[in-house]
Chains A and B, each alone.
Chain A
Amino acid sequence: MAGATVIAPINDDTGAPNVDPLSPQDATELISLLDQLPVDELELSTERFTLSLRRTGTGWVSRTTVGSSTPDDQPVAAAAVAVPDGLVGVRSPLPGTFYRSPRPGTPPFVGDGDSVESDTVVGLVETMKLFTSVAAGAAGTLVEFCVPDATSVEQDAVVALVKP
């Protein structure tokens, strides 16, 4: 059985179908109505959405929020690693998913104990479908990797340690 499970719609505690709270056409019609009135601002708040329309020098600005505007949870990234004295941290240039090999099923770029140059590629970080090489950044011996393969990492996170 494939892994598809039905979960409740985020905003639906009544069991009734969700309805698009405000289509772009609705907003345009609302604005043509407001344009005929001495009104520069409209705030509308329902259980399902909030709409704020503000008139500026060049036209209207709209802010719509469906459901809560509380920031979404960000994915939990690997814990920060302290770099011991005498070692250099190899850092991820971008936030994303860190990979040790060029593609699944292929050998890693480098292994623990391998010697590296400053520009040796030790891994890839995938951010928004774009792959960026992670270079050792220092010549020496790659002591160990600090995060497992295919781990979510923050920008500048230490992914490996090099002994110069």
Chain B
Amino acid sequence: MSASEPGRIRRLLVANRGEIAVRVLRTCCRLGIEGVLTVTDADARSLPARLADRVVRVPSYLDVDAVVTAARTCDALHPGYGFLSENPALATACAAAGVRFVGPSAATLAAAGDKLAAREHAVAAGVPVLPGGPADSARAIAAEIGFPLLVKAVGGGGGRGMRRVADPASLDAALDEARAEAGAAFADRRLYLERLVDAGRHVEVQLLGDGVRVVHLGDRDCSVQRRYQKLLEEAPAPHLDARLRADMHAAAVALGEHLGYRGAGTVEFLVHADGFAFLEINARLQVEHPVTEAVTGLDLVAEQIAIAEGQPLRMAQDDVTVTGHAIECRLNAEDPDRGFAPSPGTVTDAAFPAGEGIRVDTHVQTGTAVTADYDSLLAKLIVHGPDRAQALRVLRDALARTTIDGIATTIGLHAAIVADPDFATGAVPTGWLPEPARA
């Protein structure tokens, strides 16, 4: 059976949908790998289904048994992001079925997925963390770290199970709400508390590891967010003190080495007035990886596949160079004028900018049905220029040439962000974009 043979991956199952499925299939095509795709009924006519070499129907992208069954004739499985990508059960089931999992080991996924365990690993690797601790001793920890503080879910991120708590009086109610939300989202009601840094920036470091050696591919700034979810990312993070930047790169690599990291991963940090602190580690490819690809010239999916094939890292740290500046806008099916309300529907016209320094990753074309069943990401517009000012100019013009008609989108909001003088100056904090009222 081909799946159990070491060496080259010839047939890869892409266990995902949307733009990331298209993006992984493109690398398969470039590398001469046969791309097989899982689809649900709702996605049977999607763009990735039209691009894949073979299509396998599954009842749900979260169905481990169905996904592994679909992978049985493949050498490897790429989980993309979201869905089962960070679920140790999928990595374990792949190993049992003789299918290589394009991602970290099940043990690393478990360590990264438990945010408290990840915090402890960061401490053990000598990486600074914010004061905090588990919510079972919430009163004592709150007294120690002070208010305002942040309640976070142990089981996962994405803003779910997260609450800002202004004072001791509102702590219990916030814990109850966050516990219910975390339970529904991650089937794990555990919470932890961390000191809240209001004017911080979200800066993350991209890692690649082969289980022995770890390199970083520079940093990204993801501070433009709504509901704790990223809207726009750039690489490198603008106006970062050179010493601080180098310390963050070194801290991320130290954590990667401590975990014996294999695959692509990201260490997220909060940059505050006194330095930086560990937030979490994302043991998968991230939505915003193309800005790193733009400035390093690397194909992260191709590197993930090479690592899954058992190859040692194909670069040394000194081989990695960051050239110019890249910015990504997440174009979502959301109405910024109605509190970012989701806006499913049919795309009546889709037109994207094209040319030097512009990349669009999307699963949307004219006629695409954007269903309420999945997340709201429609397309990622990525621009690359020799410096930030020139990248911003390309982005402004590129957004003006972007059309997604038939549904409400965040295109206009991105145009407003890019035109904003504060954003043009750079280094805005995470609370910069006003939060919509909670529905």
Residue numbers of A with Cβ under 8 A of B are: 1-12, 17-21, 23-24, 27-28, 31-32, 53, 56, 58-75, 94-97, 102-103, 126-133, 152
Question: Given A4-B69, A4-B70, are A65 and B367 neighbors across the interface (CB < 8 Å)?
Answer: yes
Partner of B333, one of A69, A73, A128, A132: A128
Contact A20 B57 (CB under 8 A): no
A71: B residues at CB distance < 8 A: 346, 348, 367, 369
> How far in angstroms is the closest Cβ of chain B from A83?
23
Complex Cα–Cα for A50 and B171 (A):
57
Contact A9 B69 (CB under 8 A): no
Contact B376 A128 (CB under 8 A): yes
Complex Cα–Cα for A61 and B362 (A):
15
Residue of A nearest to B346 (CB): A71
B373: A residues at CB distance < 8 A: 75, 97, 128
Question: Given A17-B34, A72-B368, are A6 and B56 neighbors across the interface (CB < 8 Å)?
Answer: yes
Residue of B nearest to A70 (CB): B367
Partner of A67, one of B50, B342, B360, B398: B50
Is B352 engaged at the interface, CB distance under 8 Å to the other chain?
yes
> How far in angstroms is the closest Cβ of chain B from A62?
4
> How far in angstroms is the closest Cβ of chain B from A91?
15
Contact A102 B180 (CB under 8 A): yes
Contact A27 B354 (CB under 8 A): yes
B34: A residues at CB distance < 8 A: 17
A selection of 19 A-B contacts at a CB cut-off of 8 Å is A2-B63, A4-B67, A5-B57, A10-B45, A12-B53, A18-B50, A18-B52, A21-B51, A28-B358, A32-B356, A59-B398, A66-B50, A67-B45, A75-B372, A75-B373, A94-B342, A96-B344, A97-B372, A130-B342
**Which residues of B34-84 have CB atoms within 8 Å of chain A's CB atoms?**
34, 38-39, 42, 44-45, 47, 49-59, 63, 65-70
B interface SS class: mixed
Complex Cα–Cα for A114 and B198 (A):
44
Complex Cα–Cα for A97 and B401 (A):
34
Contact A20 B26 (CB under 8 A): yes
Contact A75 B439 (CB under 8 A): no
Complex Cα–Cα for A46 and B224 (A):
41
A20: B residues at CB distance < 8 A: 25-26, 29-30, 51
B401: A residues at CB distance < 8 A: 56, 58-61
Partner of B369, one of A7, A73, A96, A129: A73
How many chain B residues touch A (CB < 8 A): the figure is 67
Question: Given A62-B352, A75-B42, are A19 and B29 neighbors across the interface (CB < 8 Å)?
Answer: yes
Is B246 engaged at the interface, CB distance under 8 Å to the other chain?
no
0/1 per residue, B3-30, Cβ < 8 Å to A?
Answer: 0000000000000000000000110011
B66: A residues at CB distance < 8 A: 2-4
B59: A residues at CB distance < 8 A: 3
Contact A127 B372 (CB under 8 A): yes
B250: A residues at CB distance < 8 A: none
Q: In this complex, which of B45, B334, B346, B403 has the most chain A Cβ atoms within 10 angstroms of its Cβ?
A: B45
Residue of A nearest to B64 (CB): A2
Residue of A nearest to B368 (CB): A72
Contact B355 A31 (CB under 8 A): yes
Question: Given A65-B367, A73-B369, A103-B183, are A9 and B54 neighbors across the interface (CB < 8 Å)?
Answer: yes
Complex Cα–Cα for A141 and B415 (A):
47
> How far in angstroms is the closest Cβ of chain B from A19?
7
Complex Cα–Cα for A38 and B357 (A):
22
Contact A2 B69 (CB under 8 A): yes
B63: A residues at CB distance < 8 A: 2-3
Contact A128 B367 (CB under 8 A): no
Contact B56 A96 (CB under 8 A): no
Complex Cα–Cα for A9 and B46 (A):
11
Question: Given A1-B69, A128-B376, are A74 and B371 neighbors across the interface (CB < 8 Å)?
Answer: yes
Given contacts A58-B401, A66-B47, 13 further A-B contacts (CB under 8 A): A4-B58, A7-B44, A10-B50, A28-B358, A31-B356, A60-B353, A66-B51, A70-B367, A95-B344, A127-B344, A128-B333, A129-B375, A132-B439
B355: A residues at CB distance < 8 A: 28, 31, 59-60
Complex Cα–Cα for A19 and B70 (A):
21
> How far in angstroms is the closest Cβ of chain B from A59?
5
